[in-house]
Structure 1
Amino acid sequence: MPYLRVRIATADQHVSAQQIVSMLTDLAVTKLGKNAGVAAVDVQFQDPKQWFIGGHALKPDQSSFFIEIKITSSTNSRDDKAAFVKAAYQQMAALLPNVQPTSYIVLQDVASDSWGYGGLTQEFRYIHG
């Protein structure tokens, strides 16, 4: 299980939420070993005029993004996480025009007893196999 929240600032109307969802779900599986069947992805598009870097709004030809992924603590190594960050940035840069380097990807380790789905914590799933 991961939960991904994605905010994208771009004027490009050709990239779809489904493209982003497919790409990030695939990376969660291939780079972090997560189960695609329980990956939840929330994609929101933002007007670039409302996205600021260094106190300045993006120019119409620029794009930026913020990806936040919540994963169960101690289920991934530093190398796994670095591989996810690198691949996610590269693939977002391939999908969006003129991606700004100040586009963030944050992996948050959440304690297994502090989150879950279907009414069961990840800790419960681990203990009960």
Structure 2
Amino acid sequence: MPFARLTITPTPLQENAQALAAELTDLIAHDLGKRRDLTSVLVETTGSQVWTIGASERASAAHLEVYVTAETNSEDEKRTFIANAMALLRRAHPNLGAATYVVVKQLPATDWGYDGRTQADRAKERPMRLR
């Protein structure tokens, strides 16, 4: 049950934002092995705010954070996801600079939940996964 927050400028058209959210959902499911039907993606735009890199204003910028339960992904899975997510962002916004960050935040299973129950409690009721 990952949660992803993409902050991006310039503001994409609604249909482009929806397509980007769908592609991120698919990427999270594929590269990180998460359930697509439980993946939540929020696309935020900066509107009239100023985004700078190196103190210089940028017309095109993005930052992606994906929250997952700690110890559910290998280093290789995270490396692959980060590379593929950056490629996806660059396809959507070709002028993104190198200082575009994709972050996989790992939260302890006791520190976040789904439907009012911690991930740790939910995991106790699931059959053991082989991965």
> Normalising by structure 1, what TM-score?
0.90
Counterpart of 1:27 in structure 2 is 27
Counterpart of 2:52 in structure 1 is 52
Q: What is the letter of the counterpart of residue 25 of structure 2?
A: T
Q: What is the letter of the counterpart of residue 92 of structure 2?
A: L
Map Cα deviations across residues 60-92 of structure 1 (whole Å, 9 max, x no partner).
Answer: xxx210000000000000100000100000011
| Residues in 1 aligned to 2:55 and 2:47: alpha-carbon distance in whole angstroms | 16
Consecutive unaligned residues of structure 2, counting only runs of 5 or more, are: 127-131
1:50 is paired with a residue whose SS is coil
Matched, 1:87 2:84: yes
Q: Any residues of structure 2 matched to 1:1-129 within 5 Å, and which?
A: 1-10=1-10, 13=13, 16-47=16-47, 50-59=50-59, 63-129=60-126
* Higher deviation after alignment, 34-43 or 46-55: 46-55
- RMSD over equivalenced CA pairs, Å: 1.8
Consecutive unaligned residues of structure 1, counting only runs of 5 or more, are: none
| Residues in 2 aligned to 1:86 and 1:118: alpha-carbon distance in whole angstroms | 31
The runs of 4+ residues in structure 1 deviating greater than 4 Å are 11-15
| Residues in 2 aligned to 1:56 and 1:15: alpha-carbon distance in whole angstroms | 29
Overall identity of the aligned pairs, in %: 31
Q: Call closer, same or farther: CA 1:88–1:48 in 2, change over 3 Å.
A: farther
Q: Call closer, same or farther: CA 1:11–1:68 in 2, change over 3 Å.
A: closer
Map Cα deviations across residues 103-122 of structure 1 (whole Å, 9 max, x no partner).
Answer: 11111100001111111111
> Normalising by structure 2, what TM-score?
0.88
Q: Are the equivalent residues in 2 in contact too, given 1:11–1:48 (CA < 8 A)?
A: no
Using the TM superposition, give the Cα deviation of residue 11 of structure 1 relative to its aligned residue in structure 2, in angstroms.
6.0
| Residues in 2 aligned to 1:12 and 1:4: alpha-carbon distance in whole angstroms | 17
2:76 is paired with a residue whose SS is helix
